[in-house]
Structure 1
């Protein structure tokens, strides 16, 4: 595969991943609560692995061609973000050591997978951004292989950025309970805002 579209995709993808959103909000909350950041990030990456698998299988094209299905997935993701954001606002976290709650175990992984798996931003990335960097003419790798490679690059970018964000949130806010609660509330509000915006767009 030509390195030019690969590097171009990497540059665009990094910019998109570095824009705060639901994924950032979740990993920051995990870091502030003292829960395993690696497990939360692994869950987020697993959700994008699902998007990649669907794109490689060609199912993403079917979703793009079905407005009702795309709307249903978007509404489901928005509803989940609203529920999660409200939960975070109701119970803002203070810094503490890793606990044994639901997010401290496998729940943290599955919640992360649900957030990224239902994240409309991720869905649109695979439906509209990624295809622009596929080379369909000349002696290049099959489209499915290119899709898998670009999807793997996206997952690697997510892992690197989200791990950094989660670790920094834990270290910088460990001795600042008020700041930690403020950041957690901001994360919850961000989830609520994103979810409400998505629902409003589909209600119009």
Structure 2
């Protein structure tokens, strides 16, 4: 493999990554804070790293050659996306505005007059404080993210169609080493762009916390739509 092709493959990976899809929807649904957003990215990267390991071991090609394997993976991945979408719609992120407001007692003291005739009055008042949005367990966020990318059949097709174009059978490196290198470049490109996406989303949502819930709902709808689209595409293919 010509190492001069690595920047070109990095650019191709970015083109694929910047296309909005299920990964985007998943990251945005967990952009309530930096830790949770980074956890969602970590889960996605674990899934992509798993695909790299499978491709390096030659199992991706074996999976593609196994009758019905890709179809089964597509249905499983689509069902998983639909489930995540439904979960996001049932429990959208955001401030629980319908919940009773917490109250915090605040002590206020009146200032005595210069004559000293007026007594000092101490008065307690209460100010409502909105509860913070509930945070998802980070381990669960990571696990779900790994499922989003790990069960995505489009990732398998990426490793089968684009990646081999940058592999040279006559190179000094073995095919496995070249595959591992290219897979690592793809994971690196994914990490760079998704980190930028997540930090931007977190910053925007910190300034406008009221859009937490709408973003979560839209993300759930998108994941549901992606899942339904995958199922519909496979059904049409099987009926041909």
Q: Same fold (TM over 0.5)?
A: yes
Poorly superposed stretches of 4+, deviation over 4 Å: 95-100
Match of 1:128 among 161, 174, 193: 161
Q: Which has the higher helix share?
A: 1
Aligned to 1:176: 208
User: 5+ residue gaps in structure 2?
Assistant: 96-130
Which is worse superposed, 120-129 or 150-159? Answer: 120-129
- 2:184 is equivalent to residue 152 of structure 1: yes
Structure 1: gaps of 5 or more residues: none
CA RMSD of aligned residues (A): 1.9
Structure whose residues are more often strand by fraction: 2
DSSP-derived class of the 2:68 partner: helix
Partners of 1:155 and 1:84 in 2: CA distance: 23
- Number of aligned residue pairs: give it: 201
Q: Deviations over 1:70-94 (max 9, x none)?
A: 1111110000000101111222212
- 1:88-118 per-position Cα deviation (integer Å, ceiling 9, x unaligned): 12222126868553xx231111111111100
Structure 1: how far apart are the matches of 2:35 and 2:88? 14
1:1-204 to 2 correspondences below 5 Å: 1-32=1-32, 36-94=36-94, 99-101=134-136, 104-137=137-170, 139-204=171-236
Kept in 1: contact 2:73–2:151 (CA 8 A)? yes
Aligned-pair CA distance for 1:119: 1.1
Q: How far 1:33 moved relative to its partner?
A: 6.4
TM-score by length of 1: 0.90
8 A Cα contact 1:5 1:134, kept in partner = no
